[in-house]
């Protein structure tokens, strides 16, 4: 597990199908652990927390912040098998209908709260 602590310098959180408010709460809580970069994906959000922790702490932080349960369970299984390099992997792009779809960097604190639901007088799809 020492190898994991030297290798990883961040904790990745995958939030799928969550509301913008739940994402904002998770973002603010994640800032307690280190510097956070937020990305919007096709189905939700990714958070990358810049901090150096061991494997057990990484899994604990991800559990507290509400990481995707399927992903978290598989990472615990990979850690049990000793596959430390494959734990906590977030991709920047995904293949969708023959094309690469890249995640988009966002700043959750940049927009006023009311713009999250209404833009130009029309209701957003979120």
End-to-end Cα distance, the chain: 40
Phi, psi angle pair for 29, to nearest 5°: -70, -35
Task: Categorize the per-residue pLDDT at 111 as very low, low, confident or very high, splitting at 50, 70 and 90.
Answer: low
List Cβ neighbours of 2 (8 Å cut-off, separation of 6 or more).
54
pLDDT of 19 > 50? The answer is yes
CB 14 within 8 A of CB 71: yes
- Containing domain of residue 99, as a range? 2-123
List Cβ neighbours of 118 (8 Å cut-off, separation of 6 or more).
124
Joined tokens for residue 29: 């809580």
Task: Categorize the per-residue pLDDT at 5 as very low, low, confident or very high, splitting at 50, 70 and 90.
Answer: very low
User: Which residue, chain included where needed, has tokens 């096709």?
Assistant: 42
pLDDT (tens digit, 9 = 90+) per residue, 41-96? 888 888 999 988 888 888 899 999 988 888 888 888 988 888 877 787 777 666 66
Please report the pLDDT score of residue 124 as a whole number: 45
Domain count, the chain: 1
Task: Categorize the per-residue pLDDT at 27 as very low, low, confident or very high, splitting at 50, 70 and 90.
Answer: very high
CATH number for the domain that contains residue 103: 3.30.70
pLDDT of 10 > 60? The answer is yes
């Amino acid at each position: 597990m020492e190898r994991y602590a030297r290798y990883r310098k961040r904790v990745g959180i995958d939030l799928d199908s969550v509301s913008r408010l739940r994402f904002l709460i998770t973002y603010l809580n994640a800032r307690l652990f280190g510097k956070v970069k937020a990305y919007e994906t096709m189905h939700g959000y990714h958070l990358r927390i810049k901090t150096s922790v061991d494997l057990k702490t990484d899994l604990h932080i991800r559990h507290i912040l509400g990481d995707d349960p399927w992903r978290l369970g598989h990472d615990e299984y990979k850690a049990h098998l000793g596959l430390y390099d494959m734990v906590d992997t977030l991709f920047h792009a995904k293949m969708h209908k023959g094309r690469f779809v890249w995640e988009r960097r966002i700043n959750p604190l940049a927009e006023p709260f009311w713009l999250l639901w209404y833009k130009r007088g029309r209701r957003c799809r979120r």
